[in-house]
Amino acid sequence: MIRIEIDGCGVLICGPLEAVARKFEAELVQRGFTRKSVMNRLRLLAHLSRWLDAEGVPPESLTAEQVEAFLAERGRTHTGLFSRRALGPVLDWLAGEGAIPRAAASVPVAVDPAELVGFEEYLRAERRLEASTIAAGMARARRFLAVYAPPGGAGELTAAEVTRALLDEGATRKPVSVKAFGYTLRSLLRFFFITGITGHDLSAATLVIRSPQPSRLPVGVGRDDVAGLLAGCDRNTRAGMRDYAVLLLLSRLGLRAIEVARLRLEDIDWRRAEMLVRGKGNRDERLPLPREVGEAIVDYLRGGRPADAGFWEVFAADRAPRRPLTREAVGGIVERACDRAGLSRFGTHRLRHTLGEQMVTAAVPLDAIGQVLRHTSPVTTAGYARVDVPALRGLAQPWPRAGGERS
């Protein structure tokens, strides 16, 4: 039995994993984890070690099924600490050290029926959707078939099951979730019909879900507000240099959050002052790299990006473990910048809208705006015409007054 203490907080570790606890602590500290993160991971290790001891399971014989049993048992009383996501890094390290089998660190994979396997491949190869979009769609498709498919399988589906599924969905979930569920069902049922799984096209049975849409008059932010976001970045720190470069990419080039997260070192052509943008639908396009943005990226690469990053994405998390920024992390950068600037929080897309509105105000043609923002449809770009309020006033009809006068 050993006790590991960090800044006055201690974790008692006993059982078969006691021998590797000190090495695990040293690895976490070396990788730059915060004190709280180190303690939480050590607590997970301690709980797992005591569970192995109580169950009489040698670490070298641990299986993925036993890991799930451990999570289910401890999760009933420690819901915030015990999850597959939290335990994953601990298991990965133990497997790397040879303390447990590599298979024990793997997440059990549910075996989908053949029709769902084909649907997933269709989404990936034909629709060319992103991995996160495919995962969300597959989760909805699995839920639909598990609850509403007849005993004979997907081939016996009728319009009644489709309608009932959407009505049940609407009873418990928000309209935006019901719309997403309906889109997935429509795609799934069309795939079933095209591939011969169902004899009739049931996609017409998916109800059209409508929800009120707010007015799309100006949704951007002012130039002074953008300047405040940038000025709030402490460029003497690693995180400040990174945040400044990210905010410039969002506000000067109108990149989406996921496009910033995907930006890789080889995507920047410094000689030509161009950058490759990995956009929606796997569309890769080149944009000019403004001097201001390029200099901010260079400053971050030289003084902010960890030298031991180990990946090709430009932007890295400033806390351990070292990993590329995610779309959600880019959104967090904008929200924290809003807090520093004293602004109400908004998302990354507001900065994209801001650039579009600035170009409209500068009388840039809509087709040129569409090229900069990389819209796939001119209808999307046309929406920006509505932000030119002075021009819209000229289209308004005079309001009638009493006596026949108009104002």
| Catalytic option among 256, 305, 350, 353 | 256
Is 353 catalytic? The answer is no
Q: Which residue has the higher pLDDT, 222 or 84?
A: 222
Place of tokens 């902010």: 304
Give the whole-angstrom CA distance, residue 77 versus residue 288: 54
When pLDDT is averaged across residues 85-102 and rounded to a whole number, the result is 91
Single-letter amino acid, residue 242: R
Q: Which whole number is the average pLDDT over 52-81?
A: 83
Structure tokens at 118: 């084909």
Name the active-site residue from 327, 349, 374, 386. Answer: 349
Q: Quick check: 390 pLDDT over 70?
A: no
* 280 annotated active-site: yes
In the chain, the N- to C-terminal Cα span, in Å, equals 86
47 catalytic, yes or no? no
pLDDT, one tens digit per residue, over 313-339 is 999 998 777 889 999 999 999 999 999
Confidence of residue 385 (pLDDT cuts 50, 70, 90): low
In angstroms, rounded to a whole number, what is the distance separating the alpha carbons of residues 255 and 34?
31
pLDDT at 8 over 80: no
The tens digit of pLDDT for each residue in 265-289 reads 999 999 999 999 988 767 889 999 9
Three-state secondary-structure class, residue 4: strand
At 24, is the secondary structure helix, strand, or coil?
Answer: helix
pLDDT at 60: 93
pLDDT at residue 325, as a whole number: 93
Q: Do 253 and 293 form a contact (C-beta atoms < 8 A)?
A: yes
What CA–CA distance (Å, rounded) separates 318 from 208?
Answer: 44
The answer, yes or no, to whether residue 221 has pLDDT greater than 90, is: no
Contact 47, 77 (CB under 8 A): no
Does the structure show a pLDDT above 70 at 218? no
Q: Tens of pLDDT along 174-185? A: 888 888 999 999
Mean pLDDT comparison of 6-20, 41-55, 167-181, highest-scoring range:
41-55
Domains of the chain by range and CATH? 2-105 (1.10.150), 114-205 (1.10.150.130), 223-356 (1.10.443.10)
Give the mean pLDDT of the chain. Answer: 87
Of 79-93, 175-189, 381-395, the one with minimum mean pLDDT is 381-395
Active site residue 200: no
Specify the DSSP element, H or E, that contains 378.
helix 378-382
Asked whether 255 and 353 are in contact (CB, 8 A), the reply is no
Given 122, 148, 300, 384, the catalytic residue: 384
Per the residue annotation, which of 238, 278, 280, 340 is the catalytic one?
280
d(CA 283, CA 1): 56
Q: Please tell me what DSSP assigns to residue 206.
A: S
Cα(405)–Cα(407) distance, integer angstroms: 7
Mean pLDDT of the region 288-314: 93
Q: pLDDT value at position 397?
A: 65
Rounded CA separation 76/334 (Å): 36
CA distances from 83 to 36, 51, 78, 86, 178 (A): 17, 15, 9, 5, 27
Centre a 10 Å sphere on the Cβ of residue 283 and count the other Cβ atoms it contains: 11
Catalytic residue among 41, 50, 242, 352: 352
Q: In angstroms, rounded to a whole number, what is the distance separating the alpha carbons of residues 269 and 328?
A: 27
Return the SS3 of 13.
strand
